[in-house]
Amino acid sequence: MTGVIESQENKDLRAAVAALGARHGRGFDRAALWSEAAKLGYLGVNLPEEYGGGGGGMAELSIVLEELGAAGCPLLMMVVSPAICGTVIARFGTEEQRRTWLPGLADGSLTMAFGITEPDAGSNSHRITTTARRDGDDWILTGRKVFISGVDIADATLIVGRTRSAPDDATGRPAGLKPCLFIVPRDTPGFERTGIDMELQAAEKQFELVLDDVRLPADSLVGDEDAGLLQLFAGLNPERIMTAAFAIGMGRYALARAVDYATTRQVWKLPIGGHQAIAHPLAQAHIELELARLMMQKAAALYDAGDDIGAGEAANMAKYAAAEACVKAVDQAVHTLGGNGLTREYGLAPLITAARVARIAPVSREMILNYVSHQSLGLPKSY
C-alpha cells in the first residue's frame, strides 16, 4: 500500500467487504453484521496476527468501515474498539493486557469504548480534569466524561485521565499534562453512566460518565504513566482516519442514491441527470470524496509506517476533507431527489444530521484548522 494506489490484496478486501455490506444494507441489524464481520476477520484486520488479528493496519481497517458505510451499514464502534483501543493496547499494553483484550477485540466477542471528552474541556485535551492518583498499588480515578459512545455494549472503557505532575497554574489549567490511559471494566464500582437524549438516532448510544473514586488495580494502566501525549495520539490519529472513512462511506452512499435517481427520474425529454445543473454538482461531490480518500490513504500509510508526526497532520487533514465532502454530497443528494429526499423510503433524510457529526466529532473542523495553521504553516497560536 503506497498511500495512493491500493495493492491487489486491499482491492480484494474492498470488494469482499462491499459484498458483505450489500447483503445487509440499509436497515441492517447491527449485532448480526458485527458478528459476521468478526467471523470474516474484518473487525480485527489491523491487529497483530499473534493475538488473533489480521496483521494489517489502518489502511485495511479504514477500507472495511468505508465500504460498510458506502453500503448504508456503517459500524461506528469500529472507530473506537479495534481502531483506538485495539491500537493503543497493541502498541503500549503489557503482554497480559494484549492476551486478555486483543483476541476478543479481533473476533468481536469483546468491545471497548473510549472516554476522553469532558464537559468543560471539549476539544482541548489539555484541560482534562479526570485525575488518577496512586493509593498503594492501586489507582483511584475521579472525574466526568461526556459523549462517550457505546458504553452500554462495551465490556470496558479506555479512560483518559491525568496525573498531577505539577500544580495548576493561575488560570486553573494543569501546568503539567501527563495523560494516562486506564482500562475500566463496565461493572467497576463507582463507574456510572447516564444516557444522553440525542436527536440523532443511532445504534450506538451516547453517555455521560461519572468516575467517583473508581479503584483500579495497578495493571489497569496501559503503557507508561510518564509517556504523555505519545500514547494518547497513538489512539487519536486512528480515530481521525476512521472518522474520515465513516464520512467518505456515508458520502458515497448518498451520492450513489442520487446518481441512481438522476439516471431513472424523467420529467421532460430525458432523465434529470442529463441536465448539467444536476450532473455537475454530483460530479463535483464525487471528485471531492475521491480527494478526501487520497488524504485518508496517505494518513493511514504514514501511520502504518510508524510516522506518528506525519500521520498527525495527514489524519487531521483527511478528517477535515472527508467531513466537508460528506456534508456536501449528502446535501446535493437530498437536493437531487427533491421532496423524495426527505421521505423515509429513500433513506437520505437521516444523513442530513449524521453527516454533520463528522464535522464536529471527534474534533471540530475549527480545531483542525488551528492544528494546520500552527503545525503545518507555523502561524502563531491564538490561544
Task: Please list the residue range(s) of the chain that carry CATH number 1.20.140.10.
Answer: 229-376
The closest alpha carbon to 78, from 94, 66, 90, belongs to 66
Amino acid letter, 293? R
Amino acid letter, 118? E
Cα distance between residue 83 and residue 103, in whole Å:
14
Amino acid letter, 283? A
Which one-letter DSSP state was computed for residue 44?
Answer: T
Contact status, residue 112 vs residue 154, Cβ threshold 8 Å? yes
Residue 122 pLDDT: 63
Amino acid letter, 183? I
- For the chain, the residue count is 383
User: For the domain 229-376, what is the CATH code?
Assistant: 1.20.140.10
Residue 233 pLDDT: 78
Which residue, chain included where needed, has cell 453517555?
207
3-state secondary structure of 106: helix
User: For the domain 8-110, what is the CATH code?
Assistant: 1.10.540.10
The closest alpha carbon to 174, from 159, 162, 188, 187, belongs to 162
Residue 43, CB-side half-sphere exposure with 13 Å CA sphere? 30
Residue 337 pLDDT: 97
Nine-digit cell string for 291: 480527494
Residue 177 pLDDT: 57
The closest alpha carbon to 156, from 117, 214, 198, belongs to 214
Q: What is the pLDDT of residues 146-204, one digit of tens each?
A: 999 999 999 999 999 988 654 555 555 555 557 899 999 999 999 999 999 988 777 78
Residue 120 pLDDT: 81
Contact status, residue 208 vs residue 146, Cβ threshold 8 Å? yes
Residue 268 pLDDT: 85
How many H helices and E strands in the chain? 11, 8
- Residue 46: how many CB atoms within 10 A of its CB? 29
Residue 166 pLDDT: 47
Averaged pLDDT, groups of 10, the chain, 383 residues long? 76 98 94 96 97 97 98 96 96 96 97 92 73 93 95 95 63 62 96 91 87 96 78 88 98 98 92 96 98 98 94 97 98 97 94 93 93 95 83
Q: Which fold has domain 113-222?
A: Butyryl-CoA Dehydrogenase, subunit A; domain 2 (2.40.110)
Which one-letter DSSP state was computed for residue 204?
Answer: S
Residue 201 pLDDT: 73
Nine-digit cell string for 257: 442514491
Nine-digit cell string for 12: 480484494
Task: Please list the residue range(s) of the chain that carry CATH number 2.40.110.10.
Answer: 113-222
Amino acid letter, 188? T
Cα distance between residue 263 and residue 124, in whole Å:
46
